[in-house]
Structure 1
Amino acid sequence: MTDVTTSESADRARASELGAVARFLKATEIDTRMLGMVGALLVIWIGFHILSNGLFLTPRNLWNLSVQSSSVAVMATGMVLVIVTRNIDLSVGSLLGFVAMIMGVTQTVFLPRVMGFSLGDPTIWMIALAAGLVVGVVIGAFQGFLIAYLGIPAFIVTLGGLLVWRGAAWWVTSGQTVAPMDATFRLMGGGPEGAIGATWSWVIGLVACVAVILMLLSGRRQRKRFKFPLRPVWAEVFLGTVTCAVILGAVWVANSYPWPAGTVKKYAEANNITIPEGGLFIAHGIAIPVLMAIAAGIIMTFVTTRTRFGRYVFAIGGNPEAAELAGINTRWVTMKIFMVMGFLAAISAAISTARLNAATNAQGTLDELLVIAAAVIGGTSLAGGVGTVAGAMLGALLMQSLQSGMVLLGVDTPLQNIVVGLVLVVAVWLDTLYRRRVQ
């Protein structure tokens, strides 16, 4: 009898705990899939930190991880729109490589040798970047036209693009690597000079915290205005506190990674600064490519949640026939989605090229796998109609964390690809289970 009573008490305690968790999630309106992904990311980080003897969760590795994730994260924000509309883009990696080669040739060959621009001209990087963006949008429009207006499946069009643009990248320079890039252009790749320093990092962090608080207050006012249910005040305070803590923690990590000693010495000599006995600490701060990725995420989130175009995208993904009957020009929207994808691939090409300080024929290889995996892991459903930009960016960070951790452990590249492929399959399987549960 005592054993039965104890078992019933334990069951009631567990039920009470589950009820408390459910009430907490309902009050804060936290997405359980996003919460699960954050938990998985933390498990991966802690696991690699232990296996690498404390090397993973260091300011240096985390800073490099943020920079390495930027290129894939930017493209993942566009892949969300593509997949939400039940399409796919297998060409983004090759497109990145081709656009990177165009940017490289423009600033190292075409402008200085053909157009007579002097080296160091401040307009070189602008023209090269603009040329890459135009090429990216044009290619995206071309592929989107084939898909939307000629009715060719996106899988076939972009699979062809994967081969065509990779070959075109080789054809531009007959397989030669193009280097070095313009000094200002290189700032988009990170490094000691491609970061904003400690002071501006704290400024941006504090501004971001203020923006978070204002968004919470604005959202609460909007709910009152339209008589929607309000979150409890404690839930609002909890969300604001946790978000600001994460932002300021990220800034602290970025500011904890100092410049290399050699770079500090050159900087001190150039500016007549005496290096103290204990050394001179100059913080990197937030890297410029990370800021570019964050800006892309904010803009794309606004586009998907606050614009007519974004509503049309999700309407098409939810039910293409109903969207067309409702008067949405589904073909034009689809074409614009691939134009946006081309634009974002061009931005990623600029980040990648600046980081390498070269344009190579291998750039972007298998990036299409990473981008699609990031979007799917981030909660974008291959069945269409569901997806978030923030989830895709978190998925990109998770994928890059896996790769970075395996590199620290000395795992061979083929095995890394096996792991990435398995993670993608598991992510799609989990998405299938989730959709069955919802239905």
Structure 2
Amino acid sequence: MASAADNLASSISLSKFAQATDLKKRLWFTLGALIVFRLLSYVPIPGIDATALNLLAQKTQGGVLDFFNNFTGGALNRASVVALGVMPYITASIVVQLATSLSPTLNAIKKEGESGRKRLNQYTRYGTVALTMIQGYVIATGLENATNSPVIDPGWMFRAGAVISLVGGTLFLMWIGEQITSRGIGNGISLIIMAGIVARLPQTLIQLFEQGRTGAMGPLILLAIILGVAALVLFICFMERAQRRILIQYPKRQTARGVQAERSHLPLKLNTAGVIPPIFASSLLLLPLTISQFAGQATTTEGWWGETLLFLNTYLRHGSLIYMSLYGAGIIFFCFFYTAVVFNPEETADNLKRYGGFIPGIRPGKNTEVYFDYVLTRITVIGAAYLTLICLVPESLTAAMQIPFLMGGTSLLIVVNVTMDTVTQIQSHLLAHQYGDLIKKAKLKGRTR
């Protein structure tokens, strides 16, 4: 019965889609912003020879830079002005959130409400500029000193132009993401990352089927990959909708049917952190690896600095044991960290107590807070194990079988999760539009009487 009701609600929502003018404006704005992002990914940094750049990009295929390209839609291989994507912004936001949890001063700013949130966002923007300048300078020097350098006129003018272009491109993407969140549909930053992944999907499928055509990959293996991807998508959808519903009861009230007790449920998602932990963990790993890849092209392997770069490029390459271990540890850490940021057991328990709600068998106040923390910790353990399994097992298989990175669990998780969140927001806007129509009709009927 519940599934039939959901299907009926979905059909009603789709029938009202043509009348939802505000929703269509939001969708068109989101689509236009993503098109601008894709166009910018083809705008190169000034002073780059496209032919030499293509040769250099072919030499780095299969490495960490190719993995980074999944999040930027190939912009890094094209030395685009948005080559770094939104990764510096994500890294800066991680640093600010961690500092907020550790610093009493920043924690006090966070509790100031809207003004505190704006100040923290400003600190995040400053951090984004600093990180982009560092990464941009390393990329510029790496391109200058690479074998068959694609830089037409090396020197400080090229480096300054490259850094300014990359900083401007990253900040513009950050602004586009914020505009999508406020004026469009869905989370803007996540949609930009998903757009970069989806943009490389046709190329990845062509490479995959080409391997099957040439005999480099057996037909049974190709079929197993397709079925595995389909099963993985279904599993992600199932786990992302999984909830732990906590029964909430309110005091008895006098109604037309007599004295009745009101009951509701507090849904706690199994994966409360969503797609944030893999994005955060990958962005932290990609920051030093991107620097080491480009800096390794600009220096020799002599001295402690060269040995450090050689260690990073050798033992932290995509698919290595150390890389996968750090990636899994980062996912688990950010699962618990971001869940603690999103859901505050103390605040939720206080709100329930203020409105007279309670959990049957649990005393309001401190006991309710402890119960929330207990339940949230248990389901977060399952959610962290699920994310780690989804991200690490397919990534290990793709690295061992030389399958394109886009077929990995991290990319599929981001695409499926962001798509589900966006569809949910679209349905919410359609439902709000239906309620608005009902209210208008009710007012019209009241006037005619």
How would you bin the TM-score normalised by the shorter chain?
under 0.3
* Structure holding more strand per residue: 2
Q: TM-score, normalised by structure 1?
A: 0.27
Q: Which of the pair has more CA radius of gyration?
A: 2
Q: TM-score, normalised by structure 2?
A: 0.26
* Structure showing greater relative contact order (alpha-carbon pairs closer than 8 Å, 6 or more residues apart): 1
